[in-house]
Copies of this chain bind each other. A is one copy, B any other.
Amino acid sequence: MEFNEAKNKFIQTWGALGSQWGINKTMAQIHALLMVSPEAVSMEDIMESLQISRGNASMNLRALMDWGIVYKEYKSGERREFFTAEKDLDELAVKIARERSKREIKPALKVLKEVSMIEADTSLEEKHFVAQTSKLYDFVLRADNMLDKATEMNDNWLGRLFLKIMK
């Protein structure tokens, strides 16, 4: 496979993966492009590479910066802004996990807690509802914590040990 073909394939694949996980395609593609660029890239070049409009590029770059996984860079003597991606994958995973937890899981947990705390009457239906949503609350809470911990454990000997044992 030739380099440009490979690069393109990578960007497309990363974009598709993103959209399956609730991140929009262009956002993931921009991120992919930046990840494999050794140098910071201008907005103009991003638009050109991905064949997207100025507005689209601008909005998605902003979103990526909000997530903390893309940085603006200023080059002296240049008026334009350049962009680079977080390239440390452990750091990337931590930031994505934190962001999604904050935006999606935490609010869902709040609702789960609320609805699991209603006063159930004696009916089977209501008792079952409370039992099931309570379990779900515990479960999601546990998963959320694990996500946090797992992302932190990359440079942690106990984590590595755990991985070794579990493999």
User: Measuring CB to CB, which residues of chain A are less than 8 angstroms from any residue of chain B?
Assistant: 1-3, 6-7, 9-10, 13-14, 16-17, 19-22, 35-38, 87, 89, 93, 104-105, 108, 111-112, 114-115, 117-118, 120-121, 124-126, 128-129, 132-133, 135-136, 139, 142-143, 145-146, 149-150, 153, 158-159, 162-163, 165-167
Contact = CB atoms under 8 A, between A and B. Distances in A.
A128 B13 contact: no
B9 A132 contact: no
A158 B153 contact: no
State the number of copies, please: 2
A134 to B, nearest CB: 11
A129 B3 contact: yes
Contacts of A21: 21-22, 104
A146 B93 CA distance: 13
A17 B93 CA distance: 20
A112 B36 contact: no
A167 to B, nearest CB: 7
A3 B163 contact: no
B93 A143 contact: yes
A58 B3 CA distance: 45
20 contacts: A1-B114, A3-B125, A3-B129, A6-B115, A6-B129, A7-B115, A10-B111, A17-B105, A17-B108, A19-B22, A20-B22, A36-B133, A37-B125, A37-B128, A38-B125, A87-B132, A142-B163, A145-B167, A158-B165, A159-B166
Contacts of A89: 135-136, 139
